Chain A
Amino acid sequence: GDSVTQMEGPVTLSEEAFLTINCTYTATGYPSLFWYVQYPGEGLQLLLKATKADDKGSNKGFEATYRKETTSFHLEKGSVQVSDSAVYFCALRESNAGNMLTFGGGTRLMVKP
């Protein structure tokens, strides 16, 4: 079945550091890929998405590129802020699975001033 694997956290960075959160997936078809963010005490919010190979999703300074050859969708940001501290979830939607999303285990990011 489909699966999503994320790097385990927590990831602790200083403000203005470069961020990478790794995400790899296993799918039988051609999935759409998503990153969600969960701030403390809140539900998940869609951060960015990519629907086909080589697409780059971007939002709020975050970027991720759909790499079919490496089945990856790593999240990056050039300069993190304290306000980026949250849990980040990678997810995929299989093209033949209706609208079901499969989530990774989440990665907690802590940014220190």
Chain B
Amino acid sequence: EAGVTQSPTHLIKTRGQQATLRCSPISGHTSVYWYQQALGLGLQFLLWYDEGEERNRGNFPPRFSGRQFPNYSSELNVNALELEDSALYLCASSNPPSDYGYTFGSGTRLTVV
């Protein structure tokens, strides 16, 4: 069974540009979660999608947005990139309700220069 896949693995963008990150959940999982992990810091919750709807949103500005497609894959878009957006962006999936927690992808390393 394929795990959670994220693309691209690395992304370098210039300040002010837009970045698009993609995530494919485990087959059968309907929920997708996005987290930001800045260097040396813990996980900051960004967004939760389930069945195509945004269920919850973390404390991030509106330039962080996303969507979930009918096949449950998801996109995270970051507009007007700032230097402090440089981080590892992790996607996770689950099939709620679940006591097995999440399955994480390996992440996309976004560098803003």
Q: Among B42, B48, B99, B104, which residue has its beta carbon within 8 angstroms of that of A43?
A: B104
Interface residues on B, range: 20 to 34
Give chain A interface residues in 1-53, CB to chain B under 8 Å: 32, 34, 36, 41-46, 49, 51
A106 touches B96 (CB 8 A): no
Closest chain A residue to B107, Cβ basis: A43
A93 touches B99 (CB 8 A): yes
Cβ of B102: which chain A residues have Cβ within 8 Å of it?
A: 44, 46, 99, 101
Majority SS at the chain A contact face: strand
B42 touches A89 (CB 8 A): yes
A45 touches B104 (CB 8 A): yes
B55 touches A49 (CB 8 A): no
Interface residue ranges, B against A (CB under 8 Å): 4, 31, 33, 41-43, 45, 48, 50, 55-56, 90, 92, 94, 96-107
A42-B106, A103-B43 are known contacts; what are 11 more A-B pairs with Cβ within 8 Å?
A32-B99, A43-B106, A45-B104, A49-B101, A89-B43, A91-B101, A93-B101, A99-B94, A101-B33, A103-B45, A105-B41
